[in-house]
Amino acid sequence: MQYDFDQVRERRGSDSVKWKKYGNEVLPLWVADMDFISAEPIQRALRQRVDHGFFGYTQPSKELCLVIQERMKRLYQWKIQEAELFFLPGLVAGLNLSFHAFAGPEDEILVQPPVYHHFIKDPVIHGRKVVDPPLVQNGNTYEIDFDAFEGMITERTKVFILCNPHNPVARVYTPKELERMAEICLRHHLIICSDEIHCDLLYPGSRHIPISTLSPEVADQTVTLMAPSKTYNLAGLSCGFAIIQNPELQKIWKNTSLGFVPSMNIMGQVAALAAYKEGEEWLDQVLGYLKDNRDFLSRTIRDQLPGVGMTRMEATYLAWLDCRGSGISGKPFDFFLKEAKVALNDGVEFGRGGERFVRLNFACPRKTLTEALDRMAAALKKL
């Protein structure tokens, strides 16, 4: 079927975090939540489950496991076993479980800012320390400073949290970059926790490679986190999974999660299965629409938002905007919220290197994106 992503659908009054937080006058282009309805096969499967009328205890089906196994083999030539799948209510839970499972109090978590805020805040909240060699801006993209990356590792560094594709700088790491990161981690005996939630949201010319697929030795020290939630706009259904191939890491993961981290809920299971079995048509269409939105956003920023730069996007629908040359005094986030009534993400949330940046979610109808950019451009003209 043909999906109409241009249609503006009302989300106010639906308990949407995205649309509720900043009030009715503000256009929200912040949290990673698409303003597109989910694929018809997913909606149909959920209705069928509701019509069945039973919502008791469940566990992910063998069919869901087989579908994920087939998907990993088809996309990445990655052969995994059912026993290597560990279901989660979301990847933030998986991240925090990794901090607890593989690092003790006062141990260090290695991250690469600017990066998703849970990588930076959550370890500290749970009594761990963060070491944060930043990515290096090179023109309109970012690169890894490998000397800084390895130089900040100490004997207390236990876990490296990889974000690939990267949020917010939209990089898809190359095989050489992944191999060098993996080699450093293996040499220093670090567990790699690889957040790959945006792995399906790629633009032409980009190819995702799960770091676990580099070699059996890398897989042996890696926990890979994936989910259909960002791909198919299912974040509210709490569905995700970890792939862990080392039996010793599996045992630690199971023991740490017992009684604290539940599996997917019943509706998340249903949605995940339908998404992976029948959601490709919707995904192909939404990727085409997102590419057009990305290109429209890039042109509009160039032509109408003087002093604002946009990082080259290889993946995701989250644009990283550099406002350092815009003439805005204070935080760009505050400026656009107050003067344009557009809610973005404050770059400060993403750690070192995020100052005077904002993140913009363009997974919305073109009309919404156009209105938001018009408001932002009008606000900048008043400076």
Fold (topology level) of 17-40+280-381? Aspartate Aminotransferase, domain 1 (3.90.1150)
CA distance 324 to 308: 7
pLDDT digits (tens, 9 = 90+) for 277-288: 999 999 999 999
Q: Please count the other Cβ atoms lying within 10 Å of the Cβ belonging to residue 367.
A: 11
Q: What is the DSSP annotation of 224-261?
A: EEE-SHHHHT-GGG--EEEEE--HHHHHHHHHHHTTTS
Residue type, 29: L
Helix 266-278, helix 40-52: angle, nearest 10: 140
pLDDT digits (tens, 9 = 90+) for 315-352: 999 999 999 999 999 999 999 999 999 999 999 999 99
The structural domains of the chain, with segments of one domain joined by +, span: 17-40+280-381, 53-278
Token look-up 């190819």 returns 207
pLDDT digits (tens, 9 = 90+) for 221-247: 999 999 999 999 999 999 999 999 999
State whether CATH 1.10.150.20 applies to domain 53-278: no
Please, which pLDDT band fits residue 255 given cuts at 50, 70 and 90?
very high
pLDDT digits (tens, 9 = 90+) for 149-208: 999 999 999 999 999 999 999 999 999 999 999 999 999 999 999 999 999 999 999 999
